[in-house]
């Protein structure tokens, strides 16, 4: 197993980046992972432990900033017939995870999507305009960061993590000992491997030569284990229901509201993490292992005939690819989608976090 | 002629203000005292009315450049300029390059304040050096932190607090305020009649005053009925209304105390950082791979080296802070009005300086019982009655409702029954009552209209 095989990507219908979407849309909801960042942490023996990342640890790199800005421009191009050039606060809602890199990713995407034109040019020397980005504190966010404490979720996660950890030990008997020894940090769970992989990947992307010992497990199988680590958070139907399901509940509720009482919203943006993308993908029934790249994007289009289209864009160089949702393959109608997703849509998240719910 | 006059005044003003700023930097440069921390609280830039009144000839939203309550282009420019002004005042103290280790920006969760913060930061941190990420755009993204209003007891003060509401009601029922409302009875009735919205308090009067004020800024001709009352007759009451929310120490402690407490803690942490830098130096670099997955992973470690804090908020925030510190002179805080609280150090002593900038030049504000260079310890004593931690705030705000003894409850139930009975009795004769009201309605307004204003 050399690479993560994204079989479902093969089934994508390429829609093409330049093709414009005309006025048939009635609501657009977009979830994206932030742009390229510097490492959030290092390991004890990291030769780049004291590397001076511009902007500090965990912040967007300049390339990451450009990715988000470009994504905004690509969305402007694709949806120019649907989204007015003027930014109107009653049409656009932007939610972000609490973390700085997500907040500024949202600002950058909006800068690319809504460069001021005409009367909205408030400063001729600066073709940018301020647009508000809202967010919930980390411990109150069960939609994007998905970090709001939830007892049942944590229990189910711990259970499956232990099982999958043993599987990984069977498969790679030496990996934990080897990585612990060479990093000087304790690497004893799949999650530890994920964080280590993220750090190595970013250093690699920024042309920092990785130590020789990494070659044995990097990039593979560490990359696959990283995808596995991300998958743990929505491994079972219950885990889906209490994580990505909350997001999908929000998204489908927004669509139902739009259909019912025609709210003024045209665009709702969600600025999140790789984990958000994976939780949402898996909750949609797209269970293949996935390690989302920077600026990976999931788009939910609601069309006037209540048809829902879900698209995925791996990175800024990728096209907008339509995905087929299991159980709602061709011309997926909103009510059908809600029916298909029903098992993963929580009725009362707070309650389900405490009580046993049969899924 | 008048244009020449304007230019001369303006240039004089600029010369004057730059000298003043220079003086302060010189004061800094001579080593007399060193600036070590700054807290900035500003009101958002120019906006449209939050809510037009029912009879407002300009209530059609399409007459306005942006929707109601939104920041206008003028407002964006005003904030950009304020950011540039902050840059010129604190250049050298605040590095050119943005770093989360220097500064933290917090806004209320309202479009105009979030946008004001962003526009301000565009002026404060134009990208330079390796922070230029796009050659064509003199802007870089900077995080603006916020919290939903219903959770925000620190900056917006919108998190519900039963005890505070009760205290405020008590204040408004106190003889002084009842007297003001009684004296204003005719004015309120006049405003209610012509505006079409109920004006029966300082708060509702201020809201109408504010809408009229914005309409004059937009060069909208106000209806004739406003002539006898706006601005002169209304203004003092609009101004007074800003003092009410933190009028007493009890009110101030619950409304503004959490913000004062946060600011005090910023300065305390700053001082301890300066005194023991070695303990705090390797804060972030040592975060190694965590083993608890995404759950306990603290993605943003606490930063202890910060020295600059910006709060983007509202006119009432400005008024509340000034009033709590007993520095409020009754007025309506203008757009982008700014409070600067500076921490200085001299021979390991710390001092607090407070400035208020509601025009071009920041004015020095002298706390009661303290000199302008107020020693930090003395400052702490002065604000001590306002300091309240999160838990205490929550407890006090929550417990209010359950603070009754059994006897009180019996009395209360009796009272409620009595009220119901009275209401019922009232309903019987309600027809005749309203008739009477209709008859007397017109008279007082005539009197008011004829009065000298």
Average pLDDT for chain B: 85
Confidence of residue B276 (pLDDT cuts 50, 70, 90): confident
Q: How many CB pairs under 8 A join A and B?
A: 153
**Least CB-CB distance to B289: which of A58, A103, A185?**
A185
Instruction: Please state the ipTM of this predicted complex.
Output: 0.90
Residues of B in contact with A127 (CB under 8 A): 136-137
Q: Which of B46, B56, B315, B331 is catalytic?
A: B315
Q: Over the stretch A195-235, which tens digit does the pLDDT of each residue have?
A: 999 999 999 999 999 999 999 999 999 999 999 999 999 99
Residues of B in contact with A103 (CB under 8 A): 141, 143-145
pLDDT at B345 over 70: yes
A185 at B interface, C-beta within 8 A: yes
B102 annotated active-site: no
Opening angle at CA B329, ends B177 and B239, nearest 5: 50
Cβ–Cβ below 8 Å for A191 and B291 = yes
Cβ-based neighbour number of residue B23 at 10 Å: 10
**Least CB-CB distance to A104: which of B67, B141, B293?**
B141
Which of B105, B146, B294 is the best substitution to test chain A (most A C-beta atoms within 10 A)?
B294
B138 at A interface, C-beta within 8 A: yes
Q: Over the stretch A55-84, which tens digit does the pLDDT of each residue have?
A: 788 899 999 999 999 999 999 999 999 999
Domain ranges of chain B: 32-276+302-421
Alpha-carbon distance of B104 to A253, in angstroms, equals 35
Please answer whether residues A168 and A191 qualify as being in contact, where contact means their C-beta atoms are separated by less than 8 angstroms.
Answer: no
Mean pLDDT of A14-25: 59
Cβ–Cβ below 8 Å for B134 and A66 = yes
Cβ–Cβ below 8 Å for B131 and A189 = no
Residues of A in contact with B295 (CB under 8 A): 147, 154, 157
Closest-CA distance, A300 to chain B, in angstroms, reads 25
What is the per-residue burial (b if ≥16 Cβ within 10 Å, else e) of B62-90? eebebeeebbbbbbbbbbbebbebbeebb
DSSP class of residue B198 equals -
Q: Between the CA of residue B366 and those of A18, B240, B309, B350, B391, what are the distances in Å?
A: 62, 21, 21, 16, 31
B265 at A interface, C-beta within 8 A: no
Show which of residues 78-117 on chain A sit within 8 Å of chain B, judged by CB atoms.
88-90, 98-100, 103-105, 107-108, 111
Residues of A in contact with B151 (CB under 8 A): 137, 140
Confidence of residue B42 (pLDDT cuts 50, 70, 90): very high
Cβ–Cβ below 8 Å for A100 and B300 = yes
Residues of A in contact with B115 (CB under 8 A): 130-132
Cβ–Cβ below 8 Å for A56 and B119 = no
Contacts of residue B143, defined as CB under 8 A and 6 or more positions apart, other chains included, come to: A100, A103, A104, B100, B105
Confidence of residue A314 (pLDDT cuts 50, 70, 90): very high
B300 at A interface, C-beta within 8 A: yes
Cβ–Cβ below 8 Å for A192 and B285 = no
Mean pLDDT of A131-150: 95
pLDDT at A279 over 80: yes
Bridge partner residues of A64 (DSSP): none
Residue B66 pLDDT: 95
Percent residues over pLDDT 70 in chain A: 93
Residue A356 pLDDT: 77
Residues in chain B: 453
Closest-CA distance, A192 to chain B, in angstroms, reads 5
B87 at A interface, C-beta within 8 A: no
**Least CB-CB distance to B299: which of A43, A58, A123?**
A58
What is the per-residue burial (b if ≥16 Cβ within 10 Å, else e) of B350-360? bbbbbbbbbee
Which of B62, B81, B100, B141 is the best substitution to test chain A (most A C-beta atoms within 10 A)?
B141
Residues of B in contact with A119 (CB under 8 A): 65, 73
Comparing alpha-carbon positions, the chain B residue that sits nearest to A46 is B288
Domains in chain A with CATH codes: 25-63+70-147+236-353 (3.40.50.1240), 151-233 (no CATH)
Cβ–Cβ below 8 Å for A122 and B295 = no
A179 at B interface, C-beta within 8 A: no
pLDDT at B441 over 50: no
Class of residue A308 by CB neighbours under 10 A (exposed 0-12, middle 13-18, buried 19+): buried
Mean pLDDT of A240-268: 95
Closest-CA distance, B423 to chain A, in angstroms, reads 39
**Least CB-CB distance to B287: which of A41, A69, A191?**
A41
Please answer whether residues B69 and B49 qualify as being in contact, where contact means their C-beta atoms are separated by less than 8 angstroms.
Answer: yes
H-run or E-run covering A191: helix A190-205
Confidence of residue B301 (pLDDT cuts 50, 70, 90): low
Comparing alpha-carbon positions, the chain B residue that sits nearest to A197 is B289
A228 at B interface, C-beta within 8 A: no
Q: Over the stretch B102-134, which tens digit does the pLDDT of each residue have?
A: 999 999 999 999 999 999 999 999 999 999 999
Cβ–Cβ below 8 Å for A122 and B151 = no
> Is the torsion defined by CA of A76, A82, A84, A88 positive or negative?
negative
Q: Which fold has domain B32-276+302-421?
A: Rossmann fold (3.40.50)
Residue A118 pLDDT: 94
Contacts of residue B87, defined as CB under 8 A and 6 or more positions apart, other chains included, come to: B94, B123, B124, B125
Phi, psi angles (nearest 5°) of residue B232: -60, -45
Class of residue A204 by CB neighbours under 10 A (exposed 0-12, middle 13-18, buried 19+): middle
B401 annotated active-site: no
Q: Over the stretch B227-274, which tens digit does the pLDDT of each residue have?
A: 999 999 999 999 999 999 999 999 999 999 999 999 999 999 999 999
Residue A248 pLDDT: 98
């Amino acid at each position: 197993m050399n690479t993560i095989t994204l079989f479902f990507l093969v089934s994508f219908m390429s829609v093409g980046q330049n093709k414009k979407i005309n006025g048939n849309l009635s609501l657009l909801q977009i979830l994206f992972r932030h742009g390229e960042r510097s490492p959030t942490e290092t390991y004890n023996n990291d030769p780049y432990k004291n590397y001076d990342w511009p902007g500090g640890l965990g912040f967007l790199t300049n390339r990451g900033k450009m990715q988000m800005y470009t994504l905004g421009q690509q969305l402007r191009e694709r949806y120019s017939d649907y989204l007015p050039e003027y930014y109107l606060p009653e049409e656009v809602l932007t939610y972000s995870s609490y973390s700085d890199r997500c907040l500024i990713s949202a600002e950058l995407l909006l800068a690319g999507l809504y460069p001021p034109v005409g009367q909205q040019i408030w400063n001729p020397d600066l073709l940018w305009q301020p647009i508000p980005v809202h967010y919930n504190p980390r411990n109150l966010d069960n939609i994007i960061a998905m970090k709001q404490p939830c007892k049942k979720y944590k229990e189910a996660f711990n259970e499956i993590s232990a099982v999958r950890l043993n599987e990984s030990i069977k498969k790679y008997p030496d990996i934990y000992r080897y990585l612990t020894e060479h990093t000087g940090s304790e690497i004893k769970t799949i999650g530890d491997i994920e964080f280590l992989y993220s750090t190595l990947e970013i250093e690699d992307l920024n042309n920092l030569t990785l130590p020789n010992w990494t070659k044995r497990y990097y990039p593979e199988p560490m990359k696959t284990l990283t995808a596995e680590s991300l998958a743990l958070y929505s491994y079972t139907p219950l885990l889906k229901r209490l994580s990505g399901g909350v997001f999908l509940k929000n998204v489908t509720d927004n669509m139902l509201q739009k259909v019912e009482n025609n709210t003024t919203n045209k665009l709702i943006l969600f600025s999140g993490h790789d984990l958000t993308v994976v939780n949402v993908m898996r909750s949609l029934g797209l269970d293949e292992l996935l390690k989302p790249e920077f600026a990976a994007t999931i788009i939910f289009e609601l069309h006037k005939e209540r048809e829902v289209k879900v698209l995925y864009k791996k990175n800024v160089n990728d096209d907008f690819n339509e995905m087929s949702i299991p159980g709602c393959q061709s011309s997926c109608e909103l009510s059908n989608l809600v029916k298909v997703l029903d098992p993963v849509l929580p009725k009362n998240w707070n309650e389900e976090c405490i009580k046993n719910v049969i899924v | 002629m008048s244009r020449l006059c304007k230019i001369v005044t303006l240039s004089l003003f600029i010369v004057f203000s730059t000298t003043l700023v220079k003086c302060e930097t010189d004061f800094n440069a001579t080593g007399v005292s060193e600036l070590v921390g700054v807290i900035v609280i500003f009101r958002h830039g120019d906006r449209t009315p939050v809510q037009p009144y029912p009879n407002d000839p300009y209530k059609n939203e399409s007459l306005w450049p942006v929707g109601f309550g939104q920041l206008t282009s003028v407002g964006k420019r005003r904030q950009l300029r304020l950011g540039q002004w902050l840059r010129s005042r604190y250049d050298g103290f605040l590095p050119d390059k943005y770093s989360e280790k220097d500064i933290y920006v917090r806004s209320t969760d309202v479009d105009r304040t979030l946008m004001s913060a962003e526009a301000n930061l565009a002026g404060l941190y134009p990208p330079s050096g390796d922070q230029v990420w796009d050659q064509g755009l003199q802007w870089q993204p900077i995080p603006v932190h916020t919290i939903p209003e219903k959770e925000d007891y620190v900056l917006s003060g919108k998190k519900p607090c039963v005890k505070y509401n009760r205290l405020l009601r008590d204040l408004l029922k106190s003889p002084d305020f009842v007297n003001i409302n009684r004296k204003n009875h005719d004015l309120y009735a006049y405003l209610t009649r012509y505006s079409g919205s109920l004006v029966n308090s300082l708060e509702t009067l201020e809201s109408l005053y504010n809408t009229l004020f914005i309409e004059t800024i937009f060069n909208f001709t106000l209806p004739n009925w406003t002539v006898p009352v706006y601005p002169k007759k209304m203004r003092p009451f609009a101004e007074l209304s800003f003092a009410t929310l933190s009028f007493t120490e009890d009110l101030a402690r619950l409304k503004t105390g959490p913000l004062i407490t946060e600011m005090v803690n910023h300065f305390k942490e700053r001082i301890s950082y300066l005194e023991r830098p070695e303990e705090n130096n390797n804060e972030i670099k040592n975060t190694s791979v965590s083993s608890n997955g995404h759950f306990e992973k603290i993605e943003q470690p606490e930063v202890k080296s910060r020295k600059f804090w910006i709060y983007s908020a509202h006119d009432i925030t400005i008024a509340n802070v000034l009033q709590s510190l007993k520095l409020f002179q009754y007025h309506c805080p203008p757009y982008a009005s700014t409070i600067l609280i500076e921490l200085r150090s001299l021979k390991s002593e710390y001092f607090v300086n407070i400035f208020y900038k509601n025009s071009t030049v920041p004015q020095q504000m002298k706390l009661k019982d303290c000199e302008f260079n107020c020693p930090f310890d003395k400052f702490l004593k002065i604000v001590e009655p306002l300091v309240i931690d999160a838990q205490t705030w929550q407890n006090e705000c929550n417990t209010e409702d359950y603070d009754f003894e059994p006897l009180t409850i019996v009395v209360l139930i009796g009272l409620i029954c009595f009220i119901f009975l009275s209401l019922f009795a009232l309903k019987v004769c309600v027809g005749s009552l309203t008739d009477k009201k209709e008859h007397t309605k017109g008279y007082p307004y005539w009197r008011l209209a004829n009065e000298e204003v």
